[in-house]
Chains A and B, each alone.
Chain A
Amino acid sequence: MMIFANTALFIGFFVISMSIKRHFKQLFPQRKMASLKWLLIFRTIGYTSLLLSASLYITGLGIGLGLVSFFGLLTLVTFMQSLCFSYKPQWLVPIGFASILYLIIYSCLNI
């Protein structure tokens, strides 16, 4: 369950960052900037993913430990992403895809 939570956390912030103009350009230098509609969609998906991650943490570890672990991981994931944006933005999209793929494979293997 924690795998889902962590992946949801990563994807959440990743998608939110896509809704920010500067980062979108870093991630997809070829594409034109998304329209307002897409920005809102990105933000919604992103925040929902974060909420999902938080609730998975709380369900898995209890409210106290869950929230502490969630915020702790949040710091780590955002720090990693911000470093990537600064130095290697081209890594983020592959990592994003890889994490979704990993999630799918993991859930297929374990259901």
Chain B
Amino acid sequence: MNKQVTNILNKESFAIFLRAFTAIIGGYMLSNLLATLLSYLLPNQAGAGAVTGMLVSYLIYAVIVIWVYSVKSLRDIWRHLFIISAACIIIIYQLIPEKIL
């Protein structure tokens, strides 16, 4: 007779969820930050720069997701995400056009 396997909120499920969360949410945030950085650094008008940033953002997002799933230690990933995001935020804060703040 086939037994039913019930999924309880155990450690393994949580680990899977956490990695997925990191990839989806963390990846989205970081890809937005990097895309914004790209849009500032390009020597275009603001509009074209923003568009280029958005075009590339999905590629960056894909790379980040794959990276999150290829590194064994989730802690390492969180560390890297935090450092890179912090660096991005600092640089963006320097470059952001005054009228927005």
* A–B proximity contact (CB within 8 A): no
Task: Name A's B-contacting residues (CB within 8 A).
Answer: none
Task: Name B's A-contacting residues (CB within 8 A).
Answer: none
